[in-house]
């Protein structure tokens, strides 16, 4: 029997992925390839971290991810 989908577990997996990207070392590449690798890691981290910060709900088969992108209040 298949397990029920848990949106909180999915969010946790994205948090783990963001952490893995943050800890990932740079391969021995030089020049433009190095910059492309760094930029790809930055974008990966940003995407994984945003979903990792989401409030996830599953209602009537619809997965809703709410991500507050407003700047913090001072």
In the prediction, which pLDDT does 5 show? 85
**Domain extent listing, the chain:** 7-66
Q: What is the mean pLDDT of each run of 10 residues along the chain (74 residues)?
A: 80 96 88 91 95 94 92 84
61 alpha-carbon distance from chain centroid? 22
In the prediction, which pLDDT does 26 show? 84
In the prediction, which pLDDT does 2 show? 53
In the prediction, which pLDDT does 73 show? 85
Q: Are the C-beta atoms of 59 and 28 separated by less than 8 Å?
A: no
In the prediction, which pLDDT does 1 show? 44
């Amino acid at each position: 029997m298949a397990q029920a989908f848990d949106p909180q577990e999915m969010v946790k997996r994205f948090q783990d992925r963001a952490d893995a990207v943050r800890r990932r070392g740079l391969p021995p590449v030089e020049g433009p390839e190095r910059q492309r690798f760094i930029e790809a890691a930055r974008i990966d981290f940003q995407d994984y971290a945003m979903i990792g910060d989401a409030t996830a709900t599953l209602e009537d088969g619809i997965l809703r991810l709410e991500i507050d992108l407003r700047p913090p209040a001072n």
